[in-house]
Amino acid sequence: MNYLSKISRRSFVIGSAAAGGGLAIGFDLPFGPKSAQASASEPELGVWVVVKPDDSVIIRIARSEMGQGTITGLAQLVAEELECDWSKVSTEYPTPGQNVARKRAWGSYSTGGSRGIRESHEYVRQGGAAARMMLIQAAANEWKIPVEQCSAANSIITGPDGRKTTFGKVTEAASKLPVPDKPKLKDPKDWKIAGKPLKRLDTADKVTGKQIYGSDLKLPGMLNAAIKECPVFGGKVKSFDAARVAGMKGVKKVVQVGNTGVAVVADTWWHAKTALDALPIVWDEGPNAKVSSSSIADTLKQGLDAEQGFVGNKSGDAKAAIASAAKKVEAVYSYPYQNHAPMEPMNATARYTADKCEVWVPTQDGEASFAAVLAASGLPADKCEVYKINLGGGFGRRGAFQDYVHQAVLIAKEMPGTPIKLLWSREEDMVQGRYHPVMQCKLVGAFDKDNNLTGMHMRLSGQSILAAVRPAIVEQQKGRDPLAFQGVFESGEHAFGYTIPNLLIDHAMHNPHVPPGFWRGVNINQNCIFMECFMDELAHAAGQDALEFRRKFLGKHPKNLAVLNAVAEKIGWDKPAPKGIYRGLAHMKAFAAYVAAAAEISVTDGNKIKVHRIVAATDPIYAVNPAQIDRQVAGSFVYGLSALFLQECTVKDGRIVETNFDTYDSMRIAQMPKVESIIMPSGGTDPWGGVGEPTICVAAPAVLNAYFNATGKRIRSIPLKNHGITMV
């Protein structure tokens, strides 16, 4: 298998470049002195680039490809500085074990929070520039002329008298030169490869079936495992009757996995699953077996009026402004649990012996997977390795959470030497999620007698992701989860976009037993609905146009204003909509990008919504590949509108009720609106913004605001299917 042979022949010299680092990674990894042998046939030019004598270029990618196009974008950035021939570029993943052995030479592997490109663009470009300088230096040395007289373009180095050589001819010599530290980078206005709408590097195998996903992996002697964890979170295994299935076809072993799961190992996965379904398991459901969606909602409701909350944004005295208001507007919103449901269910393949534990896994964070292998195997870092495989979707489920890796290693430990591929059923995937958290929100706006907005209180009540996943951050913040305020926060990459006099945004934290997780967009999904629908409510109460009303509070936020103006202009906000068409707006700053949407819908019978068109603007500060950004924008709306219309994970008897796509539906092509994206990078020195997530949040409030304009009805709880509203 191509993938495996690539891994086994890859080897490395000791790296000198230290890239990235410094980010809280949420787990401890030992950084050992281990190193591997240099490979004479593959000259390494710093840690990011290998140029082979045949001129082919391999660019190393630390982040994970899950469909968002990050390997293409990152390779464009490296290739831009390298001055190589783009047609000769391919990519590879250095393994997490190699990163640890080389003192994190490739920096963070975490691929979430829309940070793949925005947080590594500088050091990967420096990696490309350093490699170019080494190649040019090697040519200058060979020609015995000053390096300043040589230049590189398109993988060719040219000397002063027009003499030429290729990268491939000097790469061996270049690889023996020192790696330049912090080379100067190009001005983005001179980019020729980066910034262009290039085709993805990884498409061909995806249309022929050759692309190997984790669930497709085959290893010699491999067996397959299916698993069930206690469906009530916090419960555990009481007993199971392995003898009942031991004789079923293909079954090799029935194993308990930790305290909470049971797995069947068989020759094929179908045999494993069939036996697992027939296996009698008794669960100790623990203390949460009576929890339901309504009991959770009742708890959250109490937080809406609690005296105190953790403060995420404050100016002036909102409560006093509300107390003395000539007119008050009040609304309560809510957002449900939702599952990531990537098309490829969770999986990992593990091979364990006392000397070595190897895991093959589609992961958004190879280092988090590596940490899970260490913990589950009990082996030291130099006896563990993780091989990353492209993901069949991630959306946040495969990053911070490595439960399936842990399980796969525990099962493999029961059968040393035998590779075990653990694959979850869709049903397991649905009931063992790390769910988009539940949140309720009460908003109160205050007007004076002249209809000027004088204050606003936004009270969030609900679940904290960080309290469950990164408790150290919450502790450091004296109990506050700063991430709960994404899009409405006091400062930073999720700063609130409006300047409102007398503002209070606070959070009453309640953490039900259902485990929360980072779900594409994370907390901007609900916060943008709450804030941008309420801004519409305020505009309506003041008798003002929704765009004009927003503009009043955007004077100090020119980039927010620019994206909002861009969608308004393109959709023709200042002109009447076509007959039967209704419009809505929304905007936000998220993941350091500025995004806005304007939606056009029609409504039939009061409850059938057709979303015809969404104009979307995004300012990610710099745009590395506009064609892929365009696809991320349109794709984010499919994820976001599926969530708005169709998706809720309800809780009954402590467990999730919806177990497959029949009850947890997802948009189809017939429901897809025409998406027109406006990519408007503003450049300059602001931190680069993300792409994969920010726009997801603006589709839902734009549609909800349009629905109000069509029907006069405000919908304040998600999903719309609970209101009898369908998407046509």
Partner 1 sequence: MANLTINGKAFDLDVEPDTPLLWAIRENAGLTGTKYGCGIAQCGACTVHIDGVAIRSCGVPVSEAVGKQITTIEGLASANGALHKVQQAWIANDVPQCGYCQTGMIMAVAALLKDKPKPTDADIDTAITNICRCGTFQQVREAIHQAATA
Asked whether the beta carbons of 166 and 55 are under 8 A apart, the reply is: yes
The piece of 88-96, 195-203, 276-284, 560-568 that touches partner 1 (CB under 8 A) is: 195-203
Contact flag: residue 662 with partner 1 (CB under 8 A): yes
**Helix H segments across 305-402?**
318-323, 366-377
**Site membership for partner 1, residue 206 (CB under 8 A):** yes
Rule CB under 8 A: say whether 391 interacts with partner 1.
yes
Q: Nearest distance from residue 388's CB to partner 1, in Å? A: 14
Q: How many CA atoms lie within 13 A of 179 on its CB side?
A: 25
Binding mask 50-79 for partner 1 (x = CB under 8 A): ----------------xxxx----------
Instruction: Give min distance, CB of 273 to partner 1, in A.
Output: 9
Structure-derived torsion over alpha carbons of residues 12, 14, 18, 22, reported in degrees to the nearest 10: 80
341 binding partner 1? (CB under 8 A): yes
Please select the residue that binds partner 1; options are 112, 261, 312, 392, rule is CB under 8 A.
Answer: 392
**Bridging pattern class, strands 453-462 and 503-509:** parallel
Compute the chain's Rg from CA coordinates.
27
Residue 521 binding partner 1, by CB under 8 A: no
Decide: is 221 part of the binding site for partner 1 (CB under 8 A). Answer: no
Q: Does 396 bind partner 1 (CB under 8 A)?
A: no
Minimum CB distance to partner 1, residue 203 (Å): 6
Contacts within 8 Å (CB) and 24+ apart, 511-514: 511/463, 511/464, 511/467, 511/468, 512/291, 512/296, 512/299, 512/438, 512/463, 512/651, 513/233, 513/234, 513/288, 513/291, 513/654, 514/233, 514/291, 514/296, 514/337, 514/435, 514/438, 514/463, 514/651, 514/656
Q: 723: burial class by Cβ within 10 Å (0-12, 13-18, 19+)?
A: middle
Could you say which of 41, 90, 149, 203 contacts partner 1 (CB under 8 A)?
A: 203
Region from 55-63, 90-98, 527-535, 659-667 binding partner 1, contact rule CB under 8 A: 659-667
Q: Which is nearer to partner 1, 128 or 342 (CB)?
A: 342
Return the closest-CA partner of residue 125 out of 679, 624, 626: 624
Among residues 212, 541, 562, 657, which is the contact residue for partner 1, using CB under 8 A? 212
Minimum CB separation from partner 1 for residue 118, in Å? 19
Specify the stretch interacting with partner 1 by CB under 8 A; choose among 116-124, 186-194, 267-275, 299-307.
Answer: 267-275
Residue in this structure with the two tokens 């589709």, named with its chain if needed = 699
Locate 531 and state its tokens.
């804030």
Closest CA to 460 of 594, 325, 313, 337: 313
Is 243 near partner 1 (CB under 8 A)? no
Segment lying near partner 1 (by CB under 8 A), choices 42-50, 446-454, 492-500, 630-638? 630-638
- Beta carbon nearer to partner 1, 11 or 666: 666
> Nearer to partner 1 by C-beta: 67 or 512?
67
Q: Where are the alpha helices (DSSP H) in 281-425?
A: 293-304, 318-323, 366-377, 403-413
Name the residue nearer to partner 1 (CB basis): 347 or 461: 347
Residue pair 615/674 in contact (Cβ under 8 Å)? The answer is: no
Q: With binding defined as CB under 8 A, does residue 210 bind partner 1?
A: yes
Placement of tokens 């009453």 in the chain: 508
Number of H helices and E strands in the chain, helices first, is 19, 28
Q: Which amino acid is at 134?
A: M
Per CB under 8 A, the list member of 164, 199, 314, 608 interacting with partner 1 is: 199
Applying CB under 8 A, the residues found at the interface with partner 1 are: 66-69, 199-200, 202-213, 215-216, 218, 224, 249, 268-270, 341-345, 390-395, 423, 425-427, 627-628, 631, 634-639, 660-662, 666-670, 672, 674-675
